[in-house]
Amino acid sequence: MSRLLLLVPGYLMMHGAWRVVGRPSPWPTRFLAAAARACGVRASLVGEPLRQDVMVVANHLSWLDILILGGTCGCAFVSKAELEGVPVIGWLATLNRTIFIRRDERRAVPAQIAAIQAGMAAGPVAIFPEGTTGDGVTLLPFKPALFGALDPPSPGARLQPVFLDYGNLAAEVAWGEEGGAANARRVLGRVGTIAVRVHCLKPIDPVAAGGRKAIAATARERIEEALGTRTQAQQG
């Protein structure tokens, strides 16, 4: 953890300098990439990530996913509102354009959808539609609510499924039922690197896919296919 904290001051200074002169800051993305490397992650891109007017949807195994997706694809994230109040982490999340939502407030849904659409206009916005972390072997059902930002979509908006492939380390890295602090200590304390392939899959046209439930189903099928292909390759 100390390695991560040591990164913060320098990147904050550079981010602030970019903001002062009114330029879009690349430093949150660079910080997340550096933080991933400090945690032992060695991420490689497979395919081309979209950079504008795109919702990124990915499988979810670990808190490392945020560092990896943010560092490789430049994603902002949709997160539960409680994270905003977490010391340091919540503040850092705001610097990366995080969109905080309250899932239990139905009346706030239209405003949340508008916030996600506005975020997509500024750059990629990522969601984890499983709603929790999985085991890296199976893919949980996708919750369709946040796909409402694509139903109907803003002009030119697309959806890009992304498969985070931890290979044989998936079960070791997966959060599962383990407490957050215990998982962080275990992952950060392990010996060796964590190789992750970030598979940027073929984009989906939300208009052609249909409503939010159909969009969610299509995205899940794409990631499940990639997961199945990886599993077959390992067994072969």
pLDDT digits (tens, 9 = 90+) for 109-145: 788 888 999 999 989 999 999 988 888 788 999 999 8
12 has a pLDDT exceeding 70: no
233 has a pLDDT exceeding 80: no
* Model pLDDT, residue 75: 94
107 has a pLDDT exceeding 80: no
Q: What is the CATH number of the domain that holds 132?
A: 3.40.1130
* Contact assessment for residue 115 and residue 96, using Cβ atoms and an 8 Å cutoff: no
For residue 197, give the nearest of 38, 55, 72, 25 by alpha carbon: 72
16: left (phi over 0), alpha (psi -120 to 50) or beta: alpha
Kindly report whether the peptide bond that precedes residue 152 is cis, defined as omega within 30 degrees of 0. yes
The parent domain of residue 150 ranges over 1-234
What distance in Å separates the CA atoms of residue 169 and residue 220, rounded to the nearest whole number? 22
* Model pLDDT, residue 175: 84
Number of domains observed in the structure of the chain: 1
Residue pLDDT, tens place only, 88-103: 778 778 888 899 987 7
What distance in Å separates the CA atoms of residue 82 and residue 90, rounded to the nearest whole number? 9
User: Model's pTM, two decimal places?
Assistant: 0.88
* Model pLDDT, residue 214: 96
What distance in Å separates the CA atoms of residue 137 and residue 135, rounded to the nearest whole number? 5
